[in-house]
Amino acid sequence: MSPAAAFREGLRRVNGAPALLAGTFAVTVMVSLPLAYALHGMIAAHLDASLAADAAASGTNPEWWREFLAQATGLGATFVPSITGFGAVLNNLTGFLDHTRPAATIIGVTAAWMVLWTFLTGGVLDRLARARRTRSQGFFAACGMHFWRLLRLGLFALIAYAILFGYVHGWIFDEAYGALTRNVTAGRTAFAIRLAGYAIFGTILLLCNVILDYARIRMIVEDRRSAMGALVAGGRFVGRRTTMVLGVYALNALAFLVLIILYAVVAPGAPRSGFTMWLALGLGELYILGRHYLKLLFYASQTALFQGALAHAAYTAAPVPVWPDSPAAEMIGNADSTESL
């Protein structure tokens, strides 16, 4: 299967799983809503009965905003003007690439979301690998069955990414970049050096990421229980089919880039009031939905490639969830065995 074919197959599989898209989107909304509600309370309390609220409700009110920020801590301190419109995307991307530490509250909710996503990954990959409906029972059975395995794999991922961001990133962007640009007097030269740094770091990050992706896929598709085994198998797959793997990755990255550019063009900036406010929210949520779609597409196309490459395209084995007996049944069983003794 060529990368393009895998990508097309991924599109087909994601398009055929709208509930998956809706479900994952709903999870993200549900995780983030409580924090938004908390921020709502902070803003409302600060504005109180002030006329400043009128200006803030109908447009932007920079004076109030900065006053709010001057006293804000924790969650409130993340409410900065640059989170509006496309600034939100740039803030997050640059924060990720430049390894800017988010606020503690944000780290907490992000960690919770990642654990939740890890739980869902088993069901998501299972659904996408089967390319057929698994119903909620089958979906959550797969989630439960694979969760602890994925969590163990997540520990390996955590170690790998911790090394990458804790040491390699610092080495490239603090030490090497600092040394290389120490006597540079042109901004564009320094930027070129930084871009090279991004390229080097991005390549290492990509390799790490792609091995972990295929480890997850093999864990689910091949019902592997060993995280280490899946990791080795994932690495083996990437090593033997590097071009194909990178091709699929590149197509997905391109799709991501297209989405980002589209959003940069249509992102409405700071919301106004009434219809335009809801339009801004709608466009923003549409973009978030698009991000979910692309995340699923990433999984689906990589899974399709793996299945195509290892002749697992017809992988249709039904999940065989093994449920423990009910406590009552277990007691009866125990009683029977006692009697026989």
Partner 1 sequence: MFGRFAALVALVLLGDAAITGAPQAPSSETSATRQGSAPRSPRNASYAITARLDPGSRTITGDEILTWRNTSNTTASTLRFHLYYNAWRNSDSTWLRELALTGRPADEPQGSDWGWIDVTTIRIIGADSAAGDLTTRMRFIAPDDGNAADRTVMEVPLDRAVGPGETVNVQIAWSARVPRPFARTGAIDSFYFLGQWFPKIGVLENSGWNCHQFHATTEFFADFGTYDVRLTVPRGWIVGATGTERDRRDEADGTTTHHYSEEDVHDFAWTTSPDFVERRARFEHSTLPPVEIRLLLQPEHTGQADRHFEAARAALKYYGEWFGPYPYGHLTIVDPAWQSNADGMEYPTLITAGTAWLMPGHTEDPEDVTVHEAGHQFWYGIVATNEFEDAWMDEGINTFASARVMQERFAPTYMIRWYFGGFVPWVFRDFPRIRELDGDRLTTYRTGAKGDAPSTPSWRYWPGTSGSITYDKTALWMHTLERMLGWETLQRILSTYFSRFAFKHPKPKDFFDVANEVSGQDLTWFFDQVYRSSNVFDYGVDALQSEVERFEGFGDKQASGAPHVELRQAQYRTRVVVRRFGEGIFPVDIRVVFENKEETRWHWDGKDRWQMFEIDKPVRAAHAEVDPEHVLLLDVRSTNNSMTLTPQSGRAARKWSLAWLIWLQDQLLTYGFFV
- Which of positions 57-96 make contact with partner 1 (CB under 8 A)? 57, 60-64, 66-68, 70, 78-79, 81-96
Q: How far is the CB of 119 from partner 1 (least distance, A)?
A: 10
**Which stretch, 39-47, 125-133, 228-236, 324-332, contacts partner 1 (CB under 8 A)?**
39-47
Q: How far is the CB of 126 from partner 1 (least distance, A)?
A: 16
Site for partner 1 in 206-225 (CB under 8 A): 209
Residues 167-196, mask of contacts with partner 1 (x by CB under 8 A): ------x---x---x-xxxxxx-xx--x--
Q: How far is the CB of 2 from partner 1 (least distance, A)?
A: 25
CA of 201: how far to CAs of 73, 98, 170, 196, in Å?
32, 11, 10, 9
By CB under 8 A, tell whether 285 contacts partner 1: yes
Three-class DSSP category at 303: helix
**Can you tell me the distance from the alpha carbon of 154 to that of 168, in angstroms, rounded to the nearest whole number?**
19
**Can you tell me the distance from the alpha carbon of 304 to that of 218, in angstroms, rounded to the nearest whole number?**
12
Amino acid letter, 338: T
Q: What phi and psi, each to the nearest 5 degrees, are found at residue 59? A: -160, -140
Interhelix angle for 18-47 vs 104-130, to 10°? 170
3-state helix, strand, coil in the chain (%, to 5): 80, 0, 20
Site for partner 1 in 263-282 (CB under 8 A): 269-271, 273, 277, 280-281
By CB under 8 A, tell whether 101 contacts partner 1: no
The answer to whether 14 touches 24, Cβ cutoff 8 Å, is no
Which of residues 5, 11, 97, 180 is near partner 1 by CB under 8 A?
97
By CB under 8 A, tell whether 302 contacts partner 1: no
